[in-house]
Amino acid sequence: MIKTDNDWWRGAVIYQVYPRSFFDSNGDGIGDLPGITAKLEYIASLNVDAIWLSPFFTSPMKDFGYDVSDYRDVDPIFGTLADFDALVARAHELGLRVMIDQVLSHTSDQHEWFKQSRQDRDNDKSDWYVWADARPDGTPPTNWVSVFGGSAWTWDSRRRQYYLHNFLSSQPDLNFHNPAVVEQVLSDVEFWLQRGVDGFRLDTANFYYHDDQLRDNPANTEVREGGIGVRLDNPYAYQCHIYDKTRPENIGFLQKLRALLDRYPGTTTVGEVGCDRSLQTMAEYTSDGDKLHMAYSFDLLTEQGSPQFIRHTLETIERGIGDGWPCWSVGNHDVQRVMSRWGDAGAPQAQAKMLMVLLLSMRGSICIYQGEELGLTEAELAYEDLVDPYGINFWPEFKGRDGCRTPIPWQADVPQAGFSSAKPWLPVAIEHHRRAISVQQDDAASILNSYRAFLGWRQQQPALCKGEIHFIDTADNCLLFSRTLDGEQMLVAVNMGAEPASLMVDGNWRAMTLPDSLPLGHLSGDRLSLPAYGVLICKPA
């Protein structure tokens, strides 16, 4: 059962479930809520604290649920509200809290609000979305571009105006400058609080407001990879996004949202922040205890995975976050799987275990994306198998997000790896069969059982969950840092390289007893020896 702890989220480990690809209970090739409920014991066995469910709301599925057409109902492909209630009840029985995705910045163009809004300029919902007249020459009102490519404005012939969409043209942006919109959105959030959810992952949490003066974004003179939509083959990278998102008014909305959650003790939020100054925005959005509880950025979800980059990212946020709280992940439903993005050839098991220890030793709360506990790599799909509009638009330079969204392999020796009795919505990768849960379940040295063991061990280490962090200079391929809480100190050493490493450490330390399935180093005097992808955690002697 759930323990009473209003601060449970601080240092928690949250397991992200992508419902379409978790488990199909009714044989239609698409995962569903009853399928998740049937597998909650598996999730609980990982020793995580909560689950985060990607969108399951009513939707035409142009962007696979991130285009909501009814904020208060379950799409029939996933089940019913009764199925959701049963999932929450069973999760709570197992001691798991439930967080759900809230896509508040935009809706589907099939939402009744938008259908009414586009009818004319005088109806009750006419100002619920961002409408603007064309420039004198008929072109869009601003130079803003969509994350998915092309203009962020689409012409509507009935209203004879453009509407704003930061993503697909079928995802019109809500107008948060309208108080009625804010009131309605908060009411829809409360609908799920009243059904017993424990928190929300907030999609595109810095996109709620736009510049009401509709000023053009300036050019980005220092184009670089990284962040949401920032790819050099995408025109989105070539603007500084100072007017189309991360506006000052966003703070006021987050404060109203926090005030709502404060009426439901023990609930929490984690906001997705993708912008040109993401770490600064994370700090700003989580400070002073009156906005988001946690936030994460795309900094560790990019192509870069060097020890130097990781240290720079964590030290940067620590300098600015004050009393705020970060959330970290190295994978999710939007990016290439970490074992392909950061992994060496063959995605070695030891490397997957090392990345787990590194992630779970960072200061902050942690999100684990389904399949990471199996060491899954990015699935290679043929063009004809793609369904993601992002990938279809930018193929072949960018293959989209389908490769990280393929179904979870439950059983190695059955069709569709036990995910479904029918052809799944995305093919199960052949190479994933050999890392199926059935293969790893009874292998004490598997990646899966290493996750279980280390997560269980971590729960008993307050300094690792909530302590301060301080980095120590060390060898190029390694990270060395301390975690400290209430006088308790731990030293974490991680070798990210494929060759053994030897580190000198100051002070008197002793190695802690970690699960022996990990690639463990050893300590002799002041010399710490780490094998390839090795890890070691020490306490003062």
Which of 101, 198, 272, 334 is catalytic? The answer is 272
Angle at 63 between CA 205 and CA 84, to 5 degrees: 75
How far apart CA 193 and CA 188 sit, in angstroms, is 9
How far apart CA 397 and CA 362 sit, in angstroms, is 33
Query: What is the token pair recorded at 226?
Result: 């990284």
**203 an active-site residue?**
yes
Q: Are 268 and 199 in contact (CB under 8 A)?
A: yes
Write the CA distances from 325 to 213, 365, 415, integer angstroms: 33, 8, 43
How far apart CA 78 and CA 508 sit, in angstroms, is 55
Closest residue by Cα to residue 227 from 313, 352, 321, 340: 313
| DSSP string of 96-122, one letter each residue | -EEEEEE--SB--TTSHHHHHHTT-SS
How far apart CA 349 and CA 105 sit, in angstroms, is 39
Write the CA distances from 450 to 158, 389, 418, integer angstroms: 58, 36, 23
Query: What is the token pair recorded at 464?
Result: 């690792």
Q: Are 282 and 249 in contact (CB under 8 A)?
A: no
How far apart CA 274 and CA 391 sit, in angstroms, is 19
- The residues, ordered by sequence, that sit 6+ positions from 169 with a Cβ below 8 Å of its Cβ are 109, 146, 154
Query: What is the token pair recorded at 380?
Result: 């290679």
Assign 371 to helix, strand or coil.
Answer: coil
How far apart CA 329 and CA 401 sit, in angstroms, is 16
**Number of other CB atoms surrounding residue 160 within 10 Å:** 11
Burial class (CB in 10 A: 0-12, 13-18, 19+), 204: buried
Which of 101, 109, 198, 203 is catalytic? The answer is 203
Amino acid identity, position 77: I
Alpha-helical runs (H) found in 417-493: 437-440, 447-458, 462-466
Please tell me the chain's helix, strand, coil percentages from 3-state DSSP, rounded to the nearest 5: 30, 20, 50
How far apart CA 82 and CA 497 sit, in angstroms, is 49
Catalytic residue numbers, as ranges: 203, 272
